[in-house]
Structures are given as structure tokens and as C-alpha cells.
Structure 1
């Protein structure tokens, strides 16, 4: 049976199971404890009658400690097993695994919020985040995640992505160059919607004078006062000039950073494998949480590099 105490001594196995380094796990743990206590207090406040026993009385759960609970939900995000398999790994039944998944995911999200790792979602907040960047250089890109084929015919058409040739949901991300952090994340949209249409609908408030790198999927998207860098398309029945090809290569090299960041987000298989959960808005919550985990890993890596440089 998996638990934190059994795996924590093996750093490589720990990272393979959770996607997190032991250092990142320990950094997140105090915020997770705080978020968990806050969730319990809110649950007690919603009770119709006062508690008859102290919190924690009665039969002891399998996931007793905050370390075990954080380890459990990270394993779910990293490996995305079915709930039957997840329960088997942790000595739980499928209904218990389902309960813990939906109880702990918002707590993990709140903990990342306490650590200031979540991407901004609201225009006012995003504006403050973007303006605070020392270098106003951003990369915009869309990312799609597969979902199960909807049963409703209208939803089938709405969520079918001609680009991916399957049913998907889509988000647009804003990353900072050169740190790679995800600063902004759009709402989750059906896969059929075009990247530019998503960006237009979200109304991202880029500061004047910003440099914004895009791909050709955002053709025509040019916020006022922003310097846009976008590859040129090859003209019909024509060829690009050597200068245009060189410029496209330079833009592609700059844009590579966002592809690397999205790849880091998708080490968590819950946002890479076909999405199986049918709870409303849960697909948006897990994407935001996975982006927060990616930002936390990037921060821990930067701190480690800075420490090495300081001691060199």
C-alpha cells in the first residue's frame, strides 16, 4: 500500500509518482495544511447542528496525515489512474477514492494560491500581474486536452477539434519570457473554438509596449499598444523570402519556451489523458491546479540554481 512515509526516502520514485521533487513537496506542505484546516472549518460552519464529537474522533481514516493526503492527490494528478486502481494502491474502495479526489483537489488548488503559484484568471488581476513583470515579454499559445466523446450530438459538434481530430477542451496560456512561468490562463472552452476567438473573448489586458509572441493560430490578434511577433504564412502558390524564413525561425526560437512550459504542465497526466470526470467545472479546476504545480516546480528549480551560483 502506498503512503508518504514509504516512498519519501526514494527521491526518484517519489518524483515519478507525484511529478514533484521532495523539496517542492515540503515547500507546498505548510500551505496545504493551512488550506485543509480552512476547508474543515468551512465544512463545520455549514453543518445543520453542532459537532457531537471532536474533529478526528471515530474510526481512523487510511489517509491520516496531511503528508499522506497531499501525496495521494499528487499521485492522482501525476498518473491519473482510474479510481478503482487509485483506491487499490492506497488501500481504499472506489467510493472512498472518489470522495478524496473531490475533497482534496480544491484544497490543493487553494494551497497553490497561498503560495502565489496559480495563474491569474480575472482581467483585473492579470493586468496587475503582467504590469509587475520586469520585462514585458510574453508568449501566447493555446493548448488542447482530449475528452471522452459526448453523447449529445450538439455537444459532439461543439467539442470536436478539426486540428486534433478528436473531442477536446481548450485553454489559452500566457507565459513570461524568459522565466517560463504561466502568468495567465483563460477559461476552459470547447475544442472547436479557434485560438484567436478565445483570446478575443477573454480580453487579455497586455500593458502598452509589451512584446507578444504568437503562432499563426492568432492571425489578426493584435492588442492595442502591443508589439506582436508572429510568423509569416507562405503565400498561396508562392515561397517566402530568405529574410522572412529567417525571421520565422527567430520567432519560433522565442516561442519554444511556451511549448516547454506546456510540456511541463502535461507531465501531470490528468491534463494529458482523455478526461473522464463529469463533475461541472472540474476540468477547469484541474488545469488551473496543474499550471500552479508547474509554476511551483519552476520556482524551486530557480531557487536551486541561485543557491548553486551563490555557493560556487
Structure 2
């Protein structure tokens, strides 16, 4: 956080301006604490008192939020993320997933998460009834075709050749 000098750099790394980032840091700290309390009470009992044990490299809520927003904006490999923040790849993975839960808890508490979760096509049509055109982005990927000649027509997509 100390190396970020201006709004432009903050937007490039996290997608947020400095004022929004600072406003989110305090509720995020409470969300991290609530997530840690929930994790230790449900998943496993604490081995040490709260605050005991080795101190992590991401100490402040601002560092944790920067780490998570950088990950969510750029989606680097965990090797790259760990090297950027001085963590091992496994710790980068664990931290990213735990902090994502904390961010979700924070955004839900602030009331900025969508109120809906779409589970079926009928529900999606009801939610987007007033939208004239709904575009869905998809990528066609090659996959292994069936070896038996009778099973091949079901796999045929209409494409003649794979693009090089």
C-alpha cells in the first residue's frame, strides 16, 4: 500500500480509486474478523488463542484488501501472485480464497451484492424479462471425439477444421 502513489496506479492494480479503497478497508477488516471467527468455530477449534502463532506477511486490512483485489482484477497464477506479495504459491491460494469469503461477507453486510442467484433458465427469463437482447459469451473448445462411428454424429458441431 505504501508504494501506490496515485489514483491511476490504484485503479490499474485493483479497479478502485484510492477513496473507494480506503472506504472499503475498514468494513473489510470487520469482515475478515467475522470470517475468521466463523471458520474457527465451525471448521475446527482453535489450537491457540486468537492472535497467537506466526504472523503473516499480509498484516493490515489494507494489505489484505490490495492482495485480494489485485488477484480478482488480474487473475494471475498463484506462483505469480505469491511472488508479487512475497508468499508461497500454496499460501497465496489459501489466502485468496479465504479473503474472497471475507470480501463477500463484507459486501453482503454493506448491501451491495446482488439480491438474486439465478438457478434455472425460467428464473433467468423472469429476471431479464425487460431486456430485449441478452448476449452470452462462450468459447468453443476442442475435445476428444468418440471412437465408435455410431457415437460420432452426436459430437459433431458443424465445424470442418480446428483453427490453428
TM-score (normalised: structure 1): 0.40
**How far apart are 1:11 and its partner, in Å?**
1.9
**2:26 aligned with 1:30:** yes
- Corresponding residue for residue 2 of structure 2: 5
Aligned-residue RMSD, C-alpha = 2.4
- Corresponding residue for residue 167 of structure 1: none
**How far apart are 1:47 and its partner, in Å?**
5.6
Residues 99-118 of structure 1: matches in 2 within 5 Å? 99-118=94-113
Residues 100-249 of structure 1: matches in 2 within 5 Å? 100-121=95-116, 186-187=118-119, 198=121, 200-202=122-124, 204=126, 212-215=130-133
User: Is the strand fraction higher in 1 or 2?
Assistant: 1
Instruction: Give the gaps of 5 or more residues in structure 2.
Output: 136-164
CA separation of 1:204 and 1:29: change in aligned 2, threshold 3 A: farther
> Is the contact between residue 28 and residue 115 of structure 1 (CA under 8 Å) also seen in structure 2?
no
Show structure 1 runs of 4+ deviating over 6 A: none
SS of residue paired to 1:41: helix
Residue by residue, what CA displacement relative to the aligned partner does 1:29-59 show, whole Å, maximum 9, x if unpaired?
A: 222111111111112212654x453322222
SS of residue paired to 2:126: coil
**d(CA) in 2 for partners of 1:111, 1:70:** 11
Number of residue pairs matched?
Answer: 135
**2:90 aligned with 1:95:** yes
Instruction: Give the gaps of 5 or more residues in structure 1.
Output: 123-185, 190-197, 219-312
SS of residue paired to 2:59: coil
